[in-house]
A and B are shown apart, each in its own frame.
Chain A
Amino acid sequence: MKLRKLKYSDSFWAFILLLPNLLGFLIFTVFPVVASFVLSFSEWDLLSPMKFVGVSNYVNLASDETFWKVLWNTFYFTLGTVPIGIALSLLLAVALNQKIRGVKLFRAMYFLPVISSTVAVAIVWQWLYNPHFGLLNYILSLFGIEGPLWLTSTTWAMPAVIITSIWKGLGFNMLLFLAGLQGIDSQFYEAAKIDGANAVRQFFHITVPLLAPTTFFVTVMSIINSFQVFDQIHVMTQGGPARSTSVLVHYLYQNAFQYFKMGYASAIAYVLFIIIFVVTMLQFRRTKSWAIY
């Protein structure tokens, strides 16, 4: 009798269905997040015993010139990637939304970089950026421009990484914009046409305002992703030359797995967390719903 009741009990089945998920979640998400926080107040090289040092990791970060440099580089990367990436992907999405032939073909081509591994993309672009024999400087030379040294120049390495990252992410954002555009009621455009509004006015007075939720979402997601950039930098420049492309996650990686400063690395991780937390809160306050995440 009791067993029969159990068979129909919500709580019993919820427990069974949740159990495997909950175990993995607690061990590999909740525990590491808490442990990382604790570690950020310690000094530990994995070999000698762990030593608690209070807030000194955070104090040291504040006076660590390299940390400020990588923080600035992370902002530089984000500022370079996000606005241009969004403008270009919006432009492509609007063009693709003009009821033209070959939509699927274009969409597939824009999507090739998105599905390619960042490591592969980074290696291909390293070759394109070759100052003497690369395709890019050759194309620039056709326009009479002498191309820079790109990845070996402290000035141009970051722009080079930014260009590659924009190129890689364009198709993804374009797809999100395209979905947003298709959600706009065509009646708005018909009414505008009757009122004699031209394409440019339609774009700025209908498309832009009605697409605002999508734009906001894409912006927040792009910022969050930009703050976590690592793969292309590790492959293309290893943070160089002279740390000109070293970003937060790269510095975290170096501290943890090259210098074995686990505590210091954890403190960097928490600074990254705080930055992303603030950006996410902006999104959360605006939409008041989690559905968008």
Chain B
Amino acid sequence: MRKVTLGRIIAYIVLVLGALSMTIPFLWMISTSFKDLSEVFVFPPTFFGEKIVWKNYLRVSDRYPFGKFFLNSINISVVVVVFQVLTSSMAGFAFARLKFKGREALFALYLATLMVPFHVTLVPTFVMMRNFGWVDTHYSLILPSLVSAFGTFLMRQFFITIPVELEESARIDGCTPFGIFARIFLPLSKPALATLGVFTFMGTWNDYIKPLIFINSVAKMTVPLGLASMQGHYSTDWPVLMAGTVIALLPVLVVFLLAQEYFVQGITLSGIKG
């Protein structure tokens, strides 16, 4: 039996209040999405409408191709995640375990760029994309994100912790450096790879400013950009806006609930190391 102490009671009160304030906005969003417009503009507000109104969902998905937005977002996120994990682990291994000239200097350059806010690169990247003729294509969202200094750093930090004995015995057995990477290091680094993958996925999926700058046509929009442009159109039709937001959020929430442990591990791993 757990002892009921004053401390634990206070802890529960704090946690329940916190949980309420975290979830009420979401419940309110869902509740509004099923209301008739006339039921929304009443005071005091009611949590449940008189009947469940589905047409908000039809109205928003008729006009805004959320299916297409999802496909675009999935397409972009998957390509970015796969390449970023690949390029980061390859380079991370080279920085952590291979000896070559200029290694420290090059790694210092990677570290230095971690301090640079991403927004510093926005204008030159836009100019580049414009010159390549890639504005309003998914190339402009994918190509600049295939490599990440942060991911490279994360993987390097992980590879450095793998015991050197494993590597030495493999070298004696005639394993090439690439063999050591592919057959020993990669299989051992599944948690780190998953962490980086989850982070990259969240960042790419939720990214707003890059699609805002690079994408103009509705058919090429990602979920956040599509959602924001829907807001411009329906401005005060809250039931329709909330229906769109539910459509945009629900898949992500489901994925999160299924893969919660990876998210939690990822953040814990990235944060606490020194």
Contact = CB atoms under 8 A, between A and B. Distances in A.
Interface of A: 7-11, 13-18, 20-25, 27-33, 35-36, 39, 46, 88, 91-92, 94-96, 98-101, 104, 106-113, 115-121, 123-125, 127-128, 130, 132-135, 138, 141, 167, 170-172, 175-176, 178-180, 183, 199, 213-214, 217-218, 224, 227-228, 230-231, 234-235, 249, 252-253, 256-257, 262, 265-266, 269-270, 272-273, 276-277, 280, 287, 289-293
A115 B256 contact: yes
B11 A120 contact: no
Contact of B29 (A124, A231, A257, A291): A124
B7 interface: yes
B173 to A, nearest CB: 12
A133 B40 contact: yes
Given A112-B253, A230-B209, A8 B176 contact: yes
> Which 9 residue pairs across A and B have the least CB separation, nearest first?
A24-B147, A21-B91, A32-B121, A32-B124, A35-B124, A292-B274, A13-B177, A95-B11, A14-B100
10 contacts: A9-B177, A20-B86, A20-B87, A95-B10, A100-B8, A138-B44, A256-B126, A276-B116, A291-B273, A291-B274
B271 interface: yes
Given A98-B7, A127-B32, A119 B123 contact: no
Nearest to B86: A20
Given A17-B94, A21-B152, A124 B245 contact: yes
**Chain A, interface SS category:** helix
B70 interface: no
B117 A228 contact: yes
Given A167-B22, A199-B7, 19 more contacts: A28-B125, A30-B109, A32-B120, A35-B124, A92-B14, A92-B18, A112-B253, A119-B228, A124-B242, A133-B43, A170-B18, A228-B117, A230-B119, A230-B209, A231-B208, A235-B228, A249-B119, A256-B123, A276-B115
B147 A133 contact: no
Contacts of A28: 121, 125, 143-147
Nearest to A35: B124
Nearest to A130: B238
B132 to A, nearest CB: 11
Interface residues of B, number: 103
Contacts of A180: 272
Contacts of B110: 25
Contacts of A183: 272
Contact of A115 (B21, B121, B181, B202): B202
B130 interface: yes
A244 B7 CA distance: 42
B94 A18 contact: yes
B196 interface: no
Interface in B1-52: 2, 7-8, 10-12, 14-15, 18-19, 21-26, 28-29, 32, 40-45
A117 B2 CA distance: 38
